A and B are shown apart, each in its own frame.
Chain A
């Protein structure tokens, strides 16, 4: 089981797990949300600085499995600079991809490098790990401050 051939644990995911990007709190976020997965205790807080409907800054803190952390980390790098509307569209597509409802090979999408998470759909118990930070981000944009995967 070399890491390169593991369909779930892609090298990018392992890298972001080990060296998460934007892994810090923001002092004065315009919105933030704490996400919980009550099943496993994973928790992620997402901080956003929204200026003119654009995600000027997005960071996260928390603790969870590699899929959860890497997903949060990649999300922050991907969404930074995007508009609120685009972030919502990407959230929807990402969520569908990990649930196996969007085939990124055959359907047009805006997920770019986030497709490293496409195989999560083969691991139903890990779908919530991959989507926790996204739910938190989405709720933060809706000015909701606490969310849960349940």
Chain B
């Protein structure tokens, strides 16, 4: 097999110092089963740089207090860091203002918030919700729950064998009945980057609002919500080098104003009497209860870290890994790559003839290689490609080409065991 044994680098030199970046991530020097960890499960969740870990530690050891409630100095400082992160997120997404940024637990909660606050308020029986064929369960199930409550209908944009959505079908599905479109920017199961800007324009031409599931996009490419013109954009901190339990919902100001709050409680109100409550202005209207303060602050550090490297650099490095990985894996006999769109994020889903993905996962793990095996919370996508599951290697800017060679060697060993 030519590609994995050649000494000539096929990856173009990268404009940043990989080894220095890798040294920022304590987890990357761990061993698994006695082998150096090769972490290729980045689409599930990313590792954390020391800057994030240290920032959270500092908050807990030196700055800890609640936000927005107490008058003392510490609380004031915590509030500053907490609200300051909102500004940083707004910059990261190129949102007009920090008022557009709502803190959530993650992508899943962000979608549920829109389903509840917009769908629950404005959708009626017979209205249609449009999603893509390869959505994550997080962008399917909440809509189905809404449909069960109010009699709306879920419609699905079909996809080609490559994993690309059928745009002509999409246009046909945009009708007077369509009240919202909710589509992933990048497929976590197949890696497809969907032409989301074009899809948003098509929906807007008919006055239909558009929610972007950006879970697999925000950590890996420049996102400009004003240029996309999406009505909402959601992502999770933990896939973007940040902590778990924190995510972001961007919403256009008028949309957020029109929507119902999601959870009720403290911090989301202006005034409360037993007769009537008036809600706080956006974004706080959507943030009931004591928030995940440390995680918000940690996310701020993560976005600062990513911006420090540069999203263009990150995208370029990951694209080089995708190209190299695709070349090396495609050359392995019996290996089928599922998801072959021309524009892809650094995710390679594959199956091997005669070897179940679970067995691939276990045998790769024995070699220290962490991948995901399963349906990737996208069972309808698996059904579309007539497989029960796939193995999935997903790369991050901190991965190296040599790790892809380790992956390929481990796959070949796996095939040997099973033949």
Contacts and interface: CB of A to CB of B under 8 A. Distances in A.
Interface stretch (A19-27, A35-43, A53-61): A35-43
Contact of B362 (A3, A42, A126): A126
Interface string B55-86: 00000000000000000000000000000000
Q: Interface on chain A toward B: helix, strand, loop, or mixed SS? A: mixed
B356 interface: yes
Interface string A98-136: 000000000000000000000000010110010000000
Interface string B369-407: 000011100010010000011000000000000000000
B interface residue count range (under 10 / 10 to 19 / 20 to 34 / 35 or more)? 20 to 34
B382 A41 contact: yes
B375 A67 contact: no
B205 interface: no
Interface in B397-419: 413, 416-418
Contact of B388 (A40, A66, A123, A125): A40
Contacts of A8: 362
B315 interface: no
A50 interface: no
Contacts of B356: 64-66, 68
A40 B382 CA distance: 11
A40 B367 contact: no
A14 B366 contact: no
A129 B358 contact: yes
Given A1-B366, A40-B374, A41-B389, A65 B413 contact: no
A59 B224 CA distance: 58
Nearest to B375: A41
Contacts of B367: 1
B375 A40 contact: yes
A3 B417 contact: yes
A28 B287 CA distance: 60
Contact of B363 (A9, A18, A64, A125): A9
A1 B365 CA distance: 12
B152 to A, nearest CB: 26
B359 interface: yes
Interface in A1-23: 1, 3, 6, 8-9, 14, 17-18
Contacts of B355: 66
A92 interface: no
Contacts of A63: 388
Contacts of B354: 18
Given A65-B356, A66-B418, A41 B362 contact: no
Interface string B29-58: 000000000000000000000000000000
Contacts of A6: 366, 417
B417 A9 contact: yes
Nearest to A63: B388
A9 to B, nearest CB: 6
Nearest to B414: A1
Interface string B328-361: 0000000000000000000000000011111100
Given A17-B418, A40-B389, A41-B379, 13 more contacts: A1-B367, A1-B416, A3-B417, A9-B417, A18-B418, A40-B358, A40-B375, A41-B374, A41-B388, A65-B357, A67-B358, A68-B356, A123-B362
Interface of A: 1, 3, 6, 8-9, 14, 17-18, 39-42, 63-68, 123, 125-126, 129
Across chains A and B, which 3 residue pairs bring their CB atoms closest together, nearest first? A65-B356, A65-B358, A41-B388
27 contacts: A1-B366, A1-B416, A1-B417, A3-B417, A6-B366, A8-B362, A9-B359, A9-B363, A14-B417, A14-B418, A17-B418, A18-B418, A40-B374, A40-B375, A41-B374, A41-B379, A41-B389, A42-B358, A65-B358, A65-B359, A66-B355, A66-B418, A67-B359, A123-B362, A125-B362, A126-B358, A129-B358
